[in-house]
Each structure stands twice: as C-alpha cells, then as structure tokens.
Amino acid sequence: MNSTSGNAAGAVQISYTVTFPEAQAHYADVEMNISGLAQNTLDLKMPVWTPGSYLVREFAKNIESFTASAINKAIDAPKLNKNTWRINTTGLSAVTVKYRVYCFEISVRTSFVDASHGFLSTSGIFVYPDKMLNAPSTIKIIPYKGWTTVSTSLEAVNGDQFTRHSPNYDILFDSPIEVGTQDVFGFDAAGVKYEVCMVGGGNYDKEKLKVDMAKIVEQETAVFGENPNKHYVFIVLNAQRGGGGLEHLSSTVLGASRDNYTNPAGYRNFLSLVAHEHFHLWNVKRLRPIVLGPFDYDNENYTTDLWIAEGFTAYYQNLILRHAGLITPETYLAAITGEINTIENQPGAKIQPLAEASFDAWIKSYRPNENSINTGISYYDKGAAVGMLLDLEIINDTKGKSSLDDVMKYLYNTYYKGKKRGYTDNEFKQGLEKFAGKNLDEFYKNYVYGVTPLDYNKYLGYAGYKATDEAAATNDPSLGVMIAEQNGKKYITTVLRGGAGWIDGINVNDELVTIDGAPVTDVPTMLNGKKVGDKITVTVMRDGLPITLPVTLLRNNRMKYKVDSLPDVTPAQMVVRKKWLALGE
Ligand SMILES: [Zn+2]
C-alpha cells in the first residue's frame, strides 16, 4: 500500500507504549512520545473507520483522559473536532501524550480487552500526527499479568516480540495486534512463513489445519502468480458463536465458533473464511479500486467496485476450496445453488444495482434495517454470482484456455505492480474484455449498473448445467411476511415487497393476533386449505391498539433453485466444466 505524503515526517520520531493496568475493566492505556518536532502546532487524529469495513465507526468515542505534556509540564490539548486534538508546540521539540481507550466491542474490526487477552484493532487505538501518515513508529506492548505472547504482522525490533516497528501509518492501521496467551502454530506455504494465532480455545486439529490452510495458500498464490509477503499472520478470535473476518496486507482477523471445527459443515465454513480473507491480500489490499488507498481516515471512501473487491473474493472463497480439492464438485454446486436462492429471493435485487450497493455500503449495507431486503442487494452475493458468470464467459470464449484467474493476475501485474496504483472502473472492465475477447458494455449495463435479472442458465449452460426453480409450479397462498416468536407472541419482522402483507398494510413490529377470528398459531398451517385470491381477516396489535386488516392472499413466490447437469453434455461444454471445476482429464 502506498502512503500519503507528509511534511517533516523524516525528522520526527514517534513511539507508543501500550499498557493494560485495568485490563479487567477493558482499558488499553497509550503513551505516545514524539520528538524532532519543528512546528508550532501539532494536530493528533484518530481514524473514524478501519479499511475493509465500510462504516464510520467514530473510534475517538472510546478515548478518555487525553493529556499532553512537555518537559514534565502539562500543556493544553483541546479538541478541534470529533477526532482531532490540537497541541501548541511552539518552542517544543518533543511532547508526550497519554490517553485511555475503552475496548469492549468484540469483533474482527474493533478492539477488545479483558483480563484474559487484548485484541487491538490499531486504527481505533493509535492517534497519528496530521499530515504525517508516512512517519514510522515503534510500538511497545507491556502485557497484563500472565500474558505471554504478541501476535501481529508488524516486525519485531531486535527480536523482541513486545517491541514492534511500523514503517508508516497505513501499515500500522493495517496490522492488528493480539496480546495474551494465545495458541500459536505455523506452517510454510508458497515460500511464506505463516503464523496461526488461536485466541479463545477451540476443538481445532492443528495438524489438519496446517495441511488444509497450506493448500488454500498455494491455490490462491497460483491465481496471482506470486505471494508478496514474507510473513503472514492469521489471528483467529474463537468465541461461543463467532464469525466474520477482516483482511489486511500481511495478516487477517477471523471470527470463529470454538466448537465448530469438528462439525464438517462448520469446518468447511471456516476454510471458506480462510480462503476469503487470504484472497484479499491480493484482491482489495493490492489489486484495488483506485480510491481504496491511500485512504482518507477522516471520511467515507466511496467506490462502485466492492462487487469486485468483495464479490469476486466471495466467488473465489469456494472456488479455491474446489480447486484445492478441499470440497467436491457437488458441494461446490450446492454452494452456488444457495447463492442463487439468496439473490433471487431478495426483492431488493430488482431495485438496487450492484455498483450502487457498493457506493452506498457506508449508509446501507453496513446500516441495515427492516426494509433492507426490499431495497438492496448484497455486493457479496450478487458480486460473487456476477464473478461466476464472467468466469464461465471467459472459459467458454477461450475454449478452456483462460479464466477469471488470468484477468486477476493480469490486473495485479498491470496496476499494483506496474502502475503502482488502483484500477478505475473502466480499467477493470477492459481487463475482463481483454480475456473474454468481447465488449462487455451490455453485460455491465444489465448486471452492474442495472437490475436485469442474472441469466444464470446462459452461463451455466456453457458448462452443461442448468438452474431450475423447483417451486415454479406451486401455487400456495402466502401472507408475504416473516414472523418471529417472542414470549409466546408472534411479531412481524419483515414485510416482503409486493406480497399480500405489503399490499394490504401489515407492518413490521405488528403482533399477529388472529386470522379469521382464530388465535394465531402456525401461520402456514392456518392457511392450509386456502387458495390464492382468498380474502381473510387479520387482526394485529400495533402500538398497543388492535387493528383489523382485510387481506387477499397472494401466491407464495419464494423460489427454490437447484443446479443440475444437462442430460446431454457436449464435448465443448465438458471442456468448460473441467476447467471451471478443476475436474482433471
Ligand atoms: Zn471480504
């Protein structure tokens, strides 16, 4: 990643010391020493977001007791705005700043400290001097009692694991730090030293993980032709129920459920998460949309390309497992089936184009509400499906000689390594066109900038497969709502666009009380024997008042796709299938 320009950064020296005197109360205490200053004012800032997670999280909200001093005398450090402190440094060459950070949000993108360990999501821990993002710094960790180990991709200074060096702030904010008593093991793959840091215990089999994770690393390295790291760290936060991940340049943080490793589907999901986050070390961390680095840490960074950065990564997370032989073709096709069903049963797929879903991630995808299903589409799900369509297009157009892999490798070489910058929307499209050997204007117009339903069967057909909606012939009546039970009462959680509930005015949060006068039990059972077009009477409690609603039942239009082989697969289709699913000869 590049760093932004800064003035006088070469002259200043910056060091941080992090201590945990009240780890049990979830505090990390930070002392920052800056010397070599030659300016009258020093503005210290904290990022408002962490790259990879497209939401302004206002990390400065967790800071308290911010003080500054010089030559052992307190100096004022008033706040200039929500995330900036201004220090008058006239006549001073060095200042010390101290502050406390409350860390009690357990996730892969926020910090958490308790008596057992500390997970530091660095963009929410370290303030930086304004306009000096390219300044190096030293980070010293003083562990809480009983803590023995530091895990991070930041280089150790003189072999001391508790003292780390950061070459600039883009690297520091991209290098989470785990400190505690974590279980650490390693493996070598693709010429890189991999470290796996297991926090929170779990029923994992280390030897199996080493083998399977190495296969993923090798397979992904083959896509791009090189693995740019020397050392890479997987920080795995195991919890009773954990999930999610966040990518970094030379590390990643994964959330996992500690008892899920012995469950075959749970283990497969974990490997899929490993494949996803590790694939990001290329796709988005290096091969990236042009606005995603150097970052603006004060504001939203808007891109229409998260369907590539996240969606293609989501496409590859399962494809890589298939290509590495970690899942069967049948399991892979089942994953695709699930994806198709997710997209097609989301009314918002007909409302929000993929490029717009990406641009509005900050205010929509990361801030979902009860109507999100009706108004939006996930750039993960639909981006993955579009990635699949393009992969099949290229494989078919080249009769199995090229695939989406070649596009990714070409763009990585051209933009990250060659031009040392991100790609524009059009440059990525041109990369796809180069390998497909055709103009993709229409494809983009329909599927990226428009909401035309994806023509799965055109593309799956290239590989001799077909997706069929098994529910197409049914004509069951439905209220078109989703219901959750709470304290024995039934509440509406979702009203699906265009369904009976939507048209006749059932609202989210309504308590469903009676249907045709009978107390509500199981709704599908109560609709047994009714037909599409039948009129029923529904009573609900809304804001403490009873309301009676005449409802005309409509067809349950929930789709249930399955993907099958065509009866007669041609040799040309078999060529595509073999390449796509790595079936060998
Ligand atoms: Zn991702």
563 strand-pairing partners: 467
Residue 5: per-residue pLDDT:
40
pLDDT at res. 3: 39
Q: In what order do the strands lie in the sheet with 84-88?
A: 79-81, 84-88, 41-45, 128-129
The CA 244 to ligand 1 mean position distance, Å, reads 9
pTM of the model: 0.96
- Bridge-based pairing state of the strands 231-239 and 192-199: parallel
Of 122, 100, 319, nearest to 222 by C-alpha is 319
Coil, helix or strand for 219? helix
Cα angle, residue 345 at apex, residues 340 and 348 outer, rounded to 5°: 110
Side-chain-facing half-sphere of 380: CA atoms under 13 Å? 11
CA 414 to chain centre: 25
DSSP lists the bridge partners of residue 515 as: 518, 538
Residue indicated by tokens 């007909």: 350
Backbone angles phi, psi at 319, to 5 degrees: -60, -40
Q: 305: CA distance to ligand 1 center in Å? A: 13
Give, as one character, the DSSP assignment of residue 520. P
What's the CA-to-centroid distance between 273 and ligand 1, angstroms? 9
Amino acid at 518: A
DSSP letter at 152?
-
Which residue in the block uniquely carries the two structure tokens 């090229």? Answer: 402
Looking at residue 406, its amino acid is D
90 burial level (CB within 10 Å; 0-12, 13-18, 19+)? exposed
Separation of alpha carbons 134 and 137, rounded Å: 10
CA of 156 from ligand 1 middle (Å) equals 28
User: How far apart (Å, rounded) are the C-alpha atoms in residues 83 and 128?
Assistant: 11
Distance 314 CA to ligand 1 centre (A): 7
Measured in Å, residue 191 CA sits from the centre of ligand 1 at 24
Backbone angles phi, psi at 238, to 5 degrees: -90, 135
Q: What is the pLDDT of residues 248-307, one digit of tens each?
A: 999 999 999 999 999 999 999 999 999 999 999 999 999 999 999 899 999 999 999 999
**CA 312 to ligand 1 center in whole angstroms:** 9
Cβ contact 485:521 at 8 Å: no
pLDDT at position 7: 45
Q: Which residue in this structure is represented by tokens 């990879």?
A: 52
Distance (Å) from CA 200 to ligand 1 centroid = 23
Q: Which residues surround ligand 1, an ion (CB under 5 A)?
A: 310, 313
How remote is the CA of residue 102 from the centroid of ligand 1, in Å? 27
The Å distance, Cα 5 to ligand 1 centre, comes to 28
Query: 307 CA distance to ligand 1 centroid (A)?
Result: 10
Residue the block writes with tokens 């892969």: 108
The CA 546 to ligand 1 mean position distance, Å, reads 45
DSSP strand pairing (465-469 vs 561-565): antiparallel
**Amino acid symbol at 85:** W
Taking residue 330's Cβ as centre, other Cβ atoms within 10 Å add up to 9
Per-residue pLDDT of the chain (585 residues; tens, 9 = 90+): 333 444 444 589 999 999 999 999 999 999 999 999 999 999 999 999 999 999 999 999 999 999 999 998 999 999 999 999 999 999 999 999 999 999 999 999 999 999 999 999 999 999 999 999 999 999 999 999 999 999 999 999 999 999 999 999 999 999 999 999 999 999 999 999 999 999 999 999 999 999 999 999 999 999 999 999 999 999 999 999 999 999 999 999 999 999 999 999 999 999 999 999 999 999 999 999 999 989 999 999 999 999 999 999 999 999 999 999 999 999 999 999 999 999 999 999 999 999 999 999 999 999 999 999 999 999 999 999 999 999 999 999 999 999 999 999 999 999 999 999 999 999 999 999 999 999 999 999 999 999 999 999 999 999 999 999 999 999 999 999 999 999 999 999 999 999 999 999 999 999 999 999 999 999 999 999 999 999 999 999 999 999 999 999 999 999 999 999 999 999 999 999 999 999 976
Distance (angstroms) between ligand 1 centre and the Cα of 52 equals: 7
253 C-alpha to ligand 1 centroid (Å): 11
| φ/ψ (deg, to 5) at 351 | -110, -45
Tell me if 502 sits within 8 A of 458, measured CB to CB. Answer: no
